[in-house]
Amino acid sequence: MYKGPADWTLIGEVKNNPRIHIPIFGNGDIDSPEKAVEYRERYGVDGVMIGRASIGHPFIFREIKHYMATGQQLAPPTIAERVEAARTHLRSSIAWKGLYEGVVEMRRHYGNYLKGLPNVKEMRLRLCTERDPAVLEDLLDEVIGNYAAEAA
Amino acid sequence: MPRIGPIDLGEFPLLLAPMEDVSDPPFRALCKQHGADLMFTEFISSEGLIRKAAKGMKKLDIFEQERPIGIQLFGGSEDAMEEAARIAEAVRPDLIDINYGCPVHKVVNKGAGACLLQDVDKMVRLTEKVVKAVKLPVTVKTRLGWSEQTKNIMEVAERLQDVGIKRSASTDARGHSCTRALRIGR
C-alpha cells in the first residue's frame, strides 16, 4: 500500500472521463478551507470527504462552507466553543454507549479538542484518568476558566 | 448539483468519512451540527452482521436528525455482503456504501476492503449483488489502486458505474482510510 501525499490528479481524470456520470467525491489531505476550494477548482470533483481533519475539529465543515460562500476565513472557534463541543461529545457518548464506555472511549478525543492550547498536558491527563462525569464536567469548566483568565 | 439516487446533496457537498472508532453517533451529531452534508457510519463487517454480532448491530444505530446517512459495509464474500445489505437496509438508512478502501491487515486478509482492487471481476460481481439486493442507492469508497504500480481506478469506476452504483465515491488518494483515532493527534 502506498503512502505519501494524496494523488488527486487521477481523481480529476476519473471525474473528467466523459463516460463517468455518477458523482465523484475526493478524499485525502483536505485539512483547510483553502485546500477544499483549491481542489474543487483544480480537479472538478463534485464534493469532498473529510476524515482526519474533523477529529476534534468538527468546525471544519462550517469553516469550508463559509470560505466557499464569502472567500473569507471564518474566525476560528473560541476555546469555550471547543470545550463545549467536547462536553457535548462526552454527554452524548455516555447517553449512547453507557456510563463506563462513554467515559472511557471519550478519552481518545480530549487531546484533539484541546490541541494547541498551552500547558494542556496536565489537564489532558486529568481528563483521561477521571471516571466521574460530574468531575469531568468540572474539569471542562476549569479549562474554560483558565483560558478566559489568560485571555483577559 | 450532485445527486445520489433521490438524495439531493446541494452544491459541492461536504462528506464525513466513515472512520472506525470515530464516526459514531456522538461524533456524527457534532459534525452534522457544524455542516456535514452526508455522513457515514463506521464500517461494519458483513460477516458480523449476518451473525447478528453485537458490535455490528450497535453500529446500525442511526437517527432521523442525521439524514442523509449511509451505512458502510465491508466483506469479501458476495453472499454475506448481499445478506448484510438487506439487514442494513431494514434500519432505513439513505444509502448503502461499500468499503473498497481499507488497507489494514485484518480486513485485507479476509479478501475485503482494498483487497478487492486486486480482483476487479470479483469487485464488480460483489457490487452488483448488493445493488440488486436493496432498493436503496449503493455507493462505494475506494482508492486509486492496490499499489502505486496498479492504479486501476479508471477501470473500477467505469465498471462499477455499469453495474449501477450511484457514486464512485471519495476516491481516497492514499493510505489513510482506516486511520484509527488513537493514533491521531499523537
Predicted local distance difference test score (pLDDT) of residue A54: 97
Angstroms from A22 CA to nearest CA on chain B: 5
Residue B168, pLDDT score: 62
Write down all domains in chain A, each with its CATH number in brackets: 8-70 (no CATH), 79-151 (1.10.1200)
What does the pLDDT look like over B97-111, one tens digit per residue? 999 988 888 999 899
Contact with chain B for residue A56, Cβ under 8 A: yes
Q: Min CA distance, B48 vs chain A (Å)?
A: 19
Select from A25, A113, A114, A120 the residue whose CB has the most chain B CBs within 10 Å, as the one to mutate to test that interface: A25
Residue A33: pLDDT band with limits 50, 70, 90: very high
Does B178 score more than 70 pLDDT?
no
The C-alpha cell at A80 is: 469555550
CA angle B127, B20, B58 (to 5 degrees): 85
> Does residue B172 carry a pLDDT above 70?
no
Mutate to test the interface with A, among B148, B170, B178 (most CBs of A within 10 A): B170
pLDDT bracket for residue B186 (50, 70, 90): very low
Query: Which residue has 453517533 as its cell numbers?
Result: B25
Query: What is the rounded average pLDDT of the residues A72-90?
Result: 97
- The answer to pTM > 0.90 is yes
Give the closest of B2, B177, B185 to A56, CB-based: B185
pLDDT, mean over chain A: 92
Residues B55-67 have pLDDT tens digits of 999 999 999 999 9
Task: Say which amino acid occupies B62.
Answer: I
Q: pLDDT at residue B31 above 60?
A: yes
| Among the ranges given (A80-94, B112-126, B144-158, B164-178), the one the predictor scored with the smallest mean pLDDT | B164-178
Which burial class, exposed, middle or buried, applies to A58 when counting CB atoms under 10 A from its CB (0-12, 13-18, 19+)?
Answer: buried
**Number of other residues whose CB lies within 10 A of the CB of residue A96:** 17
Domain boundaries, chain B: 14-171
Mean pLDDT of B168-177: 48
Rounded to an integer, what distance in angstroms lies between the CA atom of residue A118 and that of residue A104?
24
**Nearest CB to B14 within list A52, A56, A64:** A64
Residues within 8 A of B (CB atoms), A 110-139 only: 111-112, 115
Nearest by CB to residue B15, choosing from A50, A89, A105, is A50
> Nearest C-alpha of chain A: how many angstroms from B169?
5
Is the ipTM higher than 0.90? The answer is yes
Output the CA angle B96-B100-B104, nearest 5 degrees. Answer: 125
Decide if B182 contacts B21 (C-beta within 8 A): yes
- Are A2 and B174 contacting, i.e. CB atoms less than 8 angstroms apart? yes
Q: Residue B166's pLDDT is what?
A: 77
Per residue in A130-142, pLDDT tens? 999 999 999 999 9
Residue with cell 465498471: B159
| Nearest chain B residue to A6, by CA | B173
Per-residue pLDDT tens for B111-151? 999 899 999 999 999 999 999 999 999 999 998 888 888 88
- Using CA atoms of B119, B21, B170, B71 in order, give the dihedral in degrees to the nearest 10: 80
Q: What is the pLDDT of residue B185?
A: 25
B157 interaction partners in chain A (CB closer than 8 Å)? 14, 17, 20, 22, 24
- Name residues 12-51 of chain A within 8 A of B (Cβ): 13-14, 17, 19-29, 36, 40, 46-51
Could you tell me which of B134, B139, B114 has the C-alpha nearest to residue B7?
B139
Q: Which cell goes with A86?
A: 467536547
CB B62, CB B69: distance < 8 Å: yes
Chain B CB contacts of A19 below 8 Å = 158, 161
Q: Decide: B12 and A40 in contact? Cβ < 8 Å.
A: yes
> What mean pLDDT comes out for the span A113-137?
94
Provide the shortest C-alpha distance from residue A145 to chain B (in Å).
23
Task: For residue B154, give the nearest of A13, A25, A109 by CB distance.
Answer: A13
Q: What is the third-level CATH fold of B14-171?
A: TIM Barrel (3.20.20)
